[in-house]
Structure 1
Amino acid sequence: MATTTVLLIDDDANLCETVQLYVEREGWRCLVSANGTDGTAQVQRFHPDLVVLDIMLPDLNGFQVCRALRTAGCFVPILMLTARADETDRIDGLTSGADDYLAKPFSVKELVARLKSLLRRSYSIGYRDVRRARGVAIDRDQRQAFLDGKLLDLRGKEFDLVAQLVSSPGRAYSREQLLEQVWGYDFEGDVRVVDVYIRKLREKIERDPARPLYLQTVWGIGYRFVVGEL
């Protein structure tokens, strides 16, 4: 299983150092950003599993960052921090797309406990079923797919096929397995329909469909979604 990555966006260097220490004790990776612009860029570059986002930042505020990420189709779980505990900030944070909220000063142990809870809720089956791999986000509830935050125009079985591949990144699926999982046991067509849809997906996802980086052929078997770095 890949290491959980937490991105902390806060301009308080002392707080960041302490939080990073506790997060890394959990065996997680902790990235740090001191402003909203850089934090947004780090989300797009590293695709963290969780974001801890301070409201008061030197450029964009936390509400703006949160709304920008959600508008771009980024569904990473976000816990917002604020120095104020009033109801208005809490409501604004949640309505802008945050998943949880914590007022300063806080116990770092409580923060880590909340992150663990948020991680369980956000990535468990049946709760906001969003799958992520290598810049691709698949929102099964909304039947939408995003590549680096940009909505992909996937229709019908195109969406179902890429969702199946992304659900187990790196796994090699045979054409027969994909046919059963995506089209169903009672489908009477030829297994070559899988090849047709893979070609369609490559045209929409890959920079160069002739040299695919995401949807790769496993010779003699079928296809897989590759999770390595670009």
Structure 2
Amino acid sequence: MYKDNKVALVEDDENLRFLVAHRLKSEGYTIVETGSGSEAVELILKEEPFVVLLDWMLPGMQGSEVCKELRAKGYEGLVIMMTAKAQDLDKIDAYNFGVSDYLTKPFNMDVLVAMLDNKKKFAANADKHEISKFGDMEHHPHTHSILKDNKKIELTILENRILLYFLKNVNQVISREDLMMEVWGYNSDVNTRTLDMHIVRLRKKIEENPDRPEFLQTIRGVGYKFNA
């Protein structure tokens, strides 16, 4: 179980690292930190923080490589990439290699604190969720997975969060805006294109025919509806 008040801060800018660490400590978080990508993986696996704040550009090892290695070695906590690279393409690439969320530099400290508080609250609530059934599948939120025909299908953290929200709101029309606020948990610069990309991936895992979805249906001009 990851420690829900512990944050790993991986940032080579010493001034920024000091400011972020100082603010988060004042909010009650425990901080472990390094300015080195090559040291980050060992530190994170040892300390087991519930979230990693990870700079994109690091000496010796890029943030993307740190994230890939963490995921390969079994770390399932949140990884929030801090970067000035704000283009959508960069975001999509980052989600592909295991990033949970994005924070574009320069960022407001209040936004960072709100983001972490929300994710901490969501993680606590997720522990209370039980297995949900739909069609011939079971959703296991604890393990970020679906069980279908006795086969385990892995979900990313964001796919897990999206599915969980739909299963709590079955047969209700959910707007894209509400879904983004619920899933990302704060006023981010995530746009509908990024959300739609995750919906497409989730459909590939739960639908017999993703092009003609039975469960996760698009309500044109509004958002989505989950039929169960």
TM-score normalised to structure 1 length: 0.53
Q: 1:56 to 1:44 in 2, by over 3 A?
A: same
The aligned residue for residue 143 of structure 2 is 140
Alignment of 1:64-143 (within 5 A): 64-125=65-126, 140-142=143-145
Q: 1:3 to 1:84 in 2, by over 3 A?
A: closer
Question: Matched residue pairs, number?
Answer: 134
The aligned residue for residue 33 of structure 2 is 32
Q: Counterpart of 1:4 in 2: which secondary structure?
A: strand
Q: Displacement of 1:35 after TM fit?
A: 1.4
Report the RMSD for the aligned CA atoms in angstroms. Answer: 2.5
Q: Counterpart of 2:99 in 1: which secondary structure?
A: coil
Q: Displacement of 1:128 after TM fit?
A: 9.6
The aligned residue for residue 170 of structure 1 is none
Contact 2:36–2:59 under 8 Å retained in 1: yes
Q: 1:87 to 1:113 in 2, by over 3 A?
A: same
Q: 1:96 to 1:128 in 2, by over 3 A?
A: farther
Q: Displacement of 1:107 after TM fit?
A: 0.7
Contact 1:63–1:92 under 8 Å retained in 2: no
Q: 1:120 to 1:71 in 2, by over 3 A?
A: same
| Separation (CA, whole Å) in 1 of partners of 2:52 and 2:83 | 14
Q: Counterpart of 2:110 in 1: which secondary structure?
A: helix
| Separation (CA, whole Å) in 2 of partners of 1:88 and 1:128 | 33
Q: Displacement of 1:124 after TM fit?
A: 2.7
2:34 maps to amino acid? S
| Separation (CA, whole Å) in 1 of partners of 2:77 and 2:48 | 8
After superposition, what is the alpha-carbon deviation per residue over 1:129-176, rounded to whole angstroms, capped at 9, x for unaligned? Answer: 9xxxxxxxxx63449xxxxxxxxxxxxxxxxxxxxxxxxxxxxxxxxx
Contact 1:128–1:141 under 8 Å retained in 2: no
| Separation (CA, whole Å) in 2 of partners of 1:119 and 1:55 | 23
1:117 maps to amino acid? N
After superposition, what is the alpha-carbon deviation per residue over 1:38-63, rounded to whole angstroms, capped at 9, x for unaligned? Answer: 11111111111110001100111111
| Separation (CA, whole Å) in 1 of partners of 2:107 and 2:129 | 27
Bigger mean CA deviation after superposition, 118-127 or 54-63: 118-127
The aligned residue for residue 185 of structure 2 is none
For structure 1, which runs of at least 5 residues remain unmatched after alignment?
130-138, 144-230
| Separation (CA, whole Å) in 1 of partners of 2:4 and 2:143 | 23
Q: Counterpart of 1:5 in 2: which secondary structure?
A: strand
Contact 1:36–1:59 under 8 Å retained in 2: yes
Q: Displacement of 1:123 after TM fit?
A: 4.0
Q: Counterpart of 2:126 in 1: which secondary structure?
A: coil
- For the pair shown, the structure with the greater C-alpha radius of gyration is 1
Q: 1:116 to 1:4 in 2, by over 3 A?
A: same
Q: 1:99 to 1:86 in 2, by over 3 A?
A: same
For structure 2, which runs of at least 5 residues remain unmatched after alignment?
131-141, 147-228
1:140 maps to amino acid? T
Contact 2:4–2:49 under 8 Å retained in 1: no
Q: 1:118 to 1:128 in 2, by over 3 A?
A: farther
Contact 1:77–1:122 under 8 Å retained in 2: no
Q: Counterpart of 1:124 in 2: which secondary structure?
A: helix
Q: Displacement of 1:20 after TM fit?
A: 0.5
| Separation (CA, whole Å) in 1 of partners of 2:14 and 2:129 | 33
The aligned residue for residue 52 of structure 1 is 53
Q: Counterpart of 1:50 in 2: which secondary structure?
A: strand
